[in-house]
Amino acid sequence: MGYALAEAALTAGHCVCIVSGPVALKPPPGAEFVPVESAAEMASAMREHAKDADLVIMAAAVADYRPVSAADQKIKKSEAKLSLELERTEDILASLGKNKKPSQILVGFAAETSELVAHARAKLEAKNLDWIIANDVSRPSCGFDSDTNAVTMLSRDGRSIELPLSDKKHLAIEILKILGL
């Protein structure tokens, strides 16, 4: 969805910067591209690039947890049980919400599997967003690994706009229209 939004924004004449982890997609020509591999790299890149942006759309989440420590060499298979200790990563969207400029529009996505609107509305408020775009990723043909999606857009001022199942490119154009672009 993020790459479709970037392409739609470029087509509409906007300057676009994509901060992205490893994916099979290629960034659209004309977009500034910032590749990252870890949640920490994504947080740093987003802090740097969001500070001058009029609109920030966080279309995908990074891992919520990371290993506390990493082995410096291969862990050999054995009969012993192996435990993995995890720690929380930075909530990048919440950090951006705490530091956003008054004129900046901050949009997040909420990939949910239950109570779509309630969970999305809670994220909208908790993270100081202007809009949140919620999608039920348990539905067939929606969200991850699909060329189609259906979303519900919720605004800070209480609006709720449902966009039915459509290809992501068309959906991106509709989302940007609603955001005023």
For position 149, which CATH number holds?
3.40.50.10300
pLDDT at 143: 65
Would you say residue 132 has pLDDT above 80? yes
Q: How many domains does the chain have?
A: 1
pLDDT-derived band at 145, boundaries 50, 70, 90: confident
User: Which domain does 148 fall in, by range?
Assistant: 2-64+86-178
pLDDT at 146: 79
Beta carbons within 10 angstroms of residue 105's beta carbon: 18
The answer as to whether 70 is a domain residue is: no
Residue 46, in any domain of the structure: yes
* 80 within a domain of the structure (yes/no): no
Residue 39 CA neighbour count, 13 Å, CB half: 16
- Residue 72 placed within a domain: no
The tokens describing 45, both together, are 């890149």
The per-residue pLDDT for range 149-167, each reduced to its tens digit, is 889 999 999 999 999 999 9
HSE-up (13 A, CA, CB side) for residue 75: 10
Of 98-107, 123-132, 136-145, the poorest mean pLDDT is in: 136-145
- Decide: 133 and 168 in contact? Cβ < 8 Å: no
How many residues are there in the chain? 181
H or E segment to which residue 108 belongs:
strand 105-112
For residue 162, give the nearest of 121, 134, 129 by alpha carbon: 134
Do the domain assignments include residue 92?
yes
* Residue 23 belongs to a domain: yes
Give the mean pLDDT of 32-42. Answer: 94
Say if CB 11 and CB 178 are below 8 A apart.
Answer: no
Taking a C-beta distance cutoff of 8 angstroms, is the pair 168, 28 a contact? no
Residue 98 located in a structural domain: yes
CB 162 within 8 A of CB 152: yes
